[in-house]
A and B are shown apart, each in its own frame.
Chain A
Amino acid sequence: ETGVTQSPTHLIKTRGQQVTLRCSSQSGHNTVSWYQQALGQGPQFIFQYYREEENGRGNFPPRFSGLQFPNYSSELNVNALELDDSALYLCASSRTDSETAYEQYFGPGTRLTVT
C-alpha cells in the first residue's frame, strides 16, 4: 500500500510569484484535503477535493486554488504569493463513502518559504 506523498519537500519563492504543490493520495483513497500549518499552530483547512470537484473550503482567498485528477492525485496552486504564505502545506487523503471516512492519512508536507 503506497502512502501519501508530496512534492517538492522544500520550496523558496519570491513574493508575487506563483507556486504549485503536488500530492499523491494513498492507494484506494478518493478524497484529498489540503492544510496550511504556520509555525507553532495547528493545520488550517484550505479545501477538500472529492471526485475531482471542490467539496468544501476554509477561510482562504481565491488565489488558493486546487485540482484533483482522475487518479485522485491533487495540486494546490497559490498565486501572488505573500510573505504570510510561508508555512508547511499538508495534504491528507481519505476514503469518502467508507466506514473509515474520518481517517485521514497525511503526507510529509511541503515547506514553502516566501521571501
Chain B
Amino acid sequence: SQELEQSPQSLIVQEGKNLTINCTSSKTLYGLYWYKQKYGEGLIFLMMLQKGGEEKSHEKITAKLDEKKQQSSLHITASQPSHAGIYLCGADISAPKSTFGDGTTLTVKP
C-alpha cells in the first residue's frame, strides 16, 4: 500500500476559487514536504513542515501539518492559471529515502 496517499488525484477549478489538497501518511511524519511539478519536469520545493500544528505560507499557498502528524493539507487561495501543475507531498519516512505521494494534478480554468 502507498505510504503517502494524496487526495484528490486531480482537481479542476475556476480561476479565483480556493482549493485544498490532502496528504495522509500511514506512519508518523517527522518532516513533510510539498513540491510542485510541471508535467515532465523536475520538482520545485514549496515548503517543509516539521512540527505538529505547524502552518507555513508561500504567496497564496498555505500548508498545515496536523497535531497527530499524520496528515497535511495544502490550501491555495484565489487560484490562478500559474498555480496549475502537479502537487506532490514527500516525507523522509525511512531516511535517507524520501517517499512521495502520487501527486494531485491541478487545472485552473481561466
Residues on A lying within 8 angstroms of B by beta carbon are: 4, 33, 35, 40-45, 48, 50, 55-56, 58, 88, 90, 92, 102-109, 111
Binds A, one of B38-46, B51-59, B62-70, B74-82: B38-46
CB of A45 within 8 A of CB of B40, answer no
Given A41-B102, A42-B102: A55 touches B96 (CB 8 Å cut-off)? yes
Residues of B within 8 A of A40 (CB): 102-103
Q: Which residues of B contact A33 (CB under 8 A)?
A: 96, 98
A-B contact pairs, 15 of them (CB 8 A): A4-B42, A42-B4, A42-B90, A42-B100, A43-B88, A43-B90, A45-B97, A48-B96, A102-B48, A104-B45, A104-B98, A106-B44, A107-B42, A108-B42, A109-B41
Chain B neighbourhood of A105, CB < 8 A = 45
Q: How far, in angstroms, from A41 to B88 measured CA to CA in the complex?
A: 10
A-B pair number, CB within 8 angstroms: 58
A48 to B94, CA, bound (A): 13
Does B7 sit within 8 A of A, measured CB to CB? no
- Whether B100 pairs with A109 at a CB distance below 8 angstroms is no
The answer to whether B85 has its CB under 8 Å from any CB of chain A is no
Q: Which residue of B lies closest to A44 (CB)?
A: B100
Q: By the criterion CB–CB under 8 Å, are B42 and A56 in contact?
A: no
The interface of chain B, by Cβ under 8 A from chain A, is 4, 31, 33, 35, 40-45, 48, 88, 90, 92, 95-103
Nearest CB on B from A88, distance (A): 6
Question: B100 — nearest CB in chain A belongs to which residue?
Answer: A42
Residues A58 and B97 in contact in the complex (CB < 8 Å), given A42-B88, A106-B44: yes
Give the complex CA separation of A41 and B3 in angstroms: 13
Q: In whole angstroms, how far apart are the Cα atoms of A42 and B48 in the complex?
A: 17
Q: Whole-angstrom distance between the alpha carbons of A41 and B96 in the complex?
A: 20
CA distance A105 to B44 in the complex (A): 7
Decide if B48 touches A109 in the complex (CB within 8 Å).
no
7 nearest A-B pairs in the assembled complex, by CB-CB distance: A42-B100, A106-B42, A56-B96, A106-B43, A45-B97, A108-B42, A42-B102
